[in-house]
Amino acid sequence: MRQIRAIIADDEEALRSYLKKKLLSAWPELAITGEAGDGPAALRLIADSRPDIAFLDVQMPGATGLEVARRIAGTCAVVFVTAYNKYAVEAFESEALDYLLKPVTDERIEKTVKRLKERLNTPHLSAASVSEAIEKIAFALQKPAVFLQWIKAQHKGGVRLIPVNEICYFKATDKYTTVRTRDGEFLIRKTIKELEEELEPGQFWRVHRSAIVNVRAIQTVADSLSGSCMIKFKDIQEDLSVSRAYSHLFRQM
Amino acid sequence: MVMDSFNSPPIRFKVTPGRIFFMLLGNTLIALFMTGLHSESRFLTSFVYSQCMGISIATCVIFVVNYFKVSTLTVQTILVIAAIVVGIGIGVTAGLSAVNFIWSPDSSIWRPEKLKSQAPNLLYSLLFGAIVSYVFISVQKMSDEKIRRLEVEKNAAITEIKLLQSQMEPHFLFNTLSNILSLIDGDPRKARNMLEAFTAFLRASLVTARSETITVSQEMDVVKNYLEIFRMRMGDRLRYSIEIPESLQSLRIPPLLIQPLVENAVKHGLEPSVSGGNLLIRAGRDGDRMRIMVTDSGIGINELSPGNGIGLENIRKRLDLLYQGRSRISFEENQPSGVRVAIEIPYETK
């Protein structure tokens, strides 16, 4: 029988050598043919040495273990190594993949080794089922942000980073858009229309042709005699008017 | 109790069936008292009169308390006195009309001698109105204060839990423990160093999270132990320096204010970077302001980087609670890469 070859990828050197030691005592015939300290290095190593098994730390610099697994899906068996708590670990329970919890215990290693031996004797799992399992984990661990979280604004020769939660409102001014926070006003180039598309619609409402408001920053909304309403904010003194076309948003509140 | 309430916030009445019952009961007691005082007056007359008076005063007071926006209890007290006077005016008119309507519908009450005889009644009404209003307002104020105190206590408890939770983040905990475990056989000295740093970090976190304020140097103990753990874990990928002048070391600040910023810099900036980077913690005084800056040269923030999950809201809330708007926190891009966070708080030597 040919020798089974494996690689270990983890950014922490001590953890790599510990896992290597544990693996070799549970599976003396296994050959660890390489180690990598970050995502890109792991990808290169796998491409070069074509191992049967890749032990991948989930959190690695450059590219996470998940990203590495995605790229190599189907080419070798993948075992994730992770320190995540038991709730997140549920996502790892799958037919197509294995995982080891940090700190790794002898018991757990033996179980994994047994499973790996069985797996390598049966025909390869389809790349599709592996990919599916990886996507499931990726979804549970790191739901990617789809809406803007930060606004970048030029300010005093530097670039100010503003968390969107701290913004009271956006308002269009001739060429730019004014971002109002309780610390002051900042100018950005993004238009109201672009912002409306990129911000989370549940939290940021268009209240005027030229304004978007953060509903979490609102203190009260008062009706005015003309049929429009005025928004008062928690943290800033000035008010913002809601045009009649949008005032229905605040009715029955 | 009245003295310390000059600047206390105004109260709001809740009109409940129980309170209406007490008001009616109070009116009845006053009627009984008045009947006892003037043997010639009948109880029923006093009863009707007293109810009119009581209801009218109560309505005016409740109206003033609940619908006039004022800033302090003092202003509200003045308004309440005015409301009592107006209430008495309406009450007298209503009461006399009612009594007159029931018992002598033919004669007019609006004769001078009849009105003159009301003078002592007016004084009594003013007295009772003031006493009853005072009792009601005091009771309301006490329950308001109790609610506020409970709120403050609840917030403090939640803050402590959140702080401790952030310190006991499972990923950090288990990674550190696995490191220690993996070093025990091969490099017991390093394992011991790491365990010591970890223990010191946990102890310092527990102590500081329970205090309202701590000194800058206490906070730095937490930060240094945290960074030591990461320096051992990340090796030469993490380089850090702390530049805080001696004069600022004993300054008191809210606990775990700087540590989460350091944690963010390591977790979101430096750890994900293949080549790692530098971390600089710097504090300085600018007149009556103190400025603390945490700068990293990590991978930086893009528009979709996590913004909510980095404990910012918690920091801001605690700053507001302690400095009431006199603090600032801002984020800036560092050159050529990474993030600079600056916190500005009043320089106070308490």
Residues of A in contact with B168 (CB under 8 A): none
Q: What is the pLDDT of residue B100?
A: 79
pLDDT at B265 over 50: yes
Q: What is A150-250's CATH number?
A: 2.40.50.1020
Task: Dihedral sign for Cα B22, B27, B33, B39, please.
Answer: negative
Longest dimension (CA), chain A: 87
- Among A12, A84, A160, the residue with its CB nearest the CB of B179 is A12
Confidence of residue B70 (pLDDT cuts 50, 70, 90): confident
* Chain A residues near residue B302 by CB distance under 8 angstroms: 150
Q: Where are the domains of chain A?
A: 5-141, 150-250
Pick from B181, B182, B189, B238 the residue to mutate for testing the A interface (most A CBs within 10 Å).
B182
Residue A160 with chain B: CB contacts under 8 Å: 330-333
Which residue among A21, A62, A149 places its CB closest to the CB of B306? A149
With contacts defined as CB-CB under 8 Å, which chain B residues touch A158? 332-333, 335
Residue in A closest to B170 by C-alpha: A85
pLDDT mean over A232-241: 89
Q: For position B104, what pLDDT does the model report?
A: 73
> Regarding beta strands A31-36 and A5-9, do their DSSP bridges make them parallel or antiparallel, or are they unpaired?
parallel
pLDDT score of A222: 83
Residue B350: band (very low, low, confident or very high) from pLDDT cuts 50, 70, 90 = low
Position A149 scores a pLDDT of 92
Closest by CA position to B121, among listed B31, B23, B42: B31
Q: How far is CA B126 from the centre of its chain?
A: 37
Cβ–Cβ under 8 Å, residues B57 and B125: yes
Class of residue A1 by CB neighbours under 10 A (exposed 0-12, middle 13-18, buried 19+): exposed
pLDDT digits (tens, 9 = 90+) for B79-98: 888 888 898 888 888 888 88
Residue B186 contacts A where some CB pair is shorter than 8 Å = yes
- Does any CB of chain A come closer than 8 Å to the CB of residue B272? yes
Q: Assign B211 a pLDDT band (cuts: 50, 70, 90).
A: confident
Structure confidence by residue, pLDDT tens digits, B118-150: 677 778 778 887 888 888 888 888 888 888 888
CATH topology for the B168-346 domain: Heat Shock Protein 90 (3.30.565)
Domain definitions of chain B by residue range = 3-147, 168-346
pLDDT band at A101 (very low <50, low <70, confident <90, very high): confident
As a whole number of angstroms, the distance between CA B18 and CA B95 comes to: 24
pLDDT tens per residue across span A66-88: 889 988 877 888 899 988 765 56
Mean pLDDT, rounded, for A130-139? 79
Q: What is the pLDDT of residue A230?
A: 87
pLDDT confidence tier of residue B292, bands split at 50, 70 and 90: very high
Cβ contact, residue pair A160, B174, below 8 Å = no
Region A108-112 average pLDDT: 91
Find, among B277, B267, B203, the residue nearest to B236 by Cα.
B277
Query: In angstroms, what separates the C-alpha of B274 from chain A's closest C-alpha?
Result: 5
What residues of chain A lie within 8 A of the CB of B181, using their CB?
A: 18, 103
CA–CA distance, A33 with A8 (Å, rounded to integer): 9
Min Cα separation A123/chain B (Å): 34
Residue B107, pLDDT score:
62
Q: For A164, which residue in chain B has the nearest alpha carbon?
A: B307
CB contact under 8 A, A84 and B171: yes
- The yes-or-no verdict on residue B224 having pLDDT over 70 is yes
Interchain pair A163, B274: CB under 8 A: no
Please give the residue of chain A at the shortest CA–CA distance from B317.
Answer: A166
Residue A143 φ/ψ, nearest 5 degrees: -55, 115
Higher pLDDT, B299 or A124: B299
In 3-state terms chain B splits into helix, strand, coil percentages (rounded to 5) of 65, 10, 25
The answer, for B313 touching chain A at a CB cutoff of 8 Å, is yes
Q: What is the pLDDT of residue B3?
A: 42
Lowest mean pLDDT among B85-89, B98-102, B231-235: B98-102
Interface test with B, best of A57, A149, A199 (most B CBs within 10 A): A149
- The CATH label, of 3.90.950.10, 3.40.50.10310, 3.10.20.90, 3.40.50.2300, for the domain at A5-141 is 3.40.50.2300
Kindly report, residue by residue over A168-208, the tens digit of the pLDDT. 999 999 889 999 999 899 999 999 999 999 999 999 999 99
| Highest mean pLDDT pick, A122-126, A215-219, B5-9 | A215-219
Confidence check: pLDDT of B4 > 60: no
- State the pLDDT at residue B1: 38
Chain B (228-267) residues lying within 8 Å, Cβ to Cβ, of chain A: 233-235, 237
Chain A: closest CA distance from residue B119 (Å): 46
Mean pLDDT of chain B: 85
Question: Smallest CA–CA separation between B101 and chain A, in Å?
Answer: 44
Per-residue pLDDT at B116 exceeds 80: no
pLDDT average, residue stretch B250-254: 89
The pLDDT, as a whole number, for residue B5 is 47
- Cβ-based contacts of B304 with chain A (< 8 Å): 144-150
Q: Which residue would you say has higher pLDDT here, B30 or B266?
A: B266
Q: Is B314 exposed, middle or buried (0-12, 13-18, 19+ CB in 10 A)?
A: middle
User: If we measure between CA atoms, which residue out of A86, A85, A78, A83 comes closest to residue A104?
Assistant: A83
Range with the largest mean pLDDT of A222-231, B143-152, B278-287: B278-287
* Contact yes or no for A18 and B181 at CB 8 A: yes
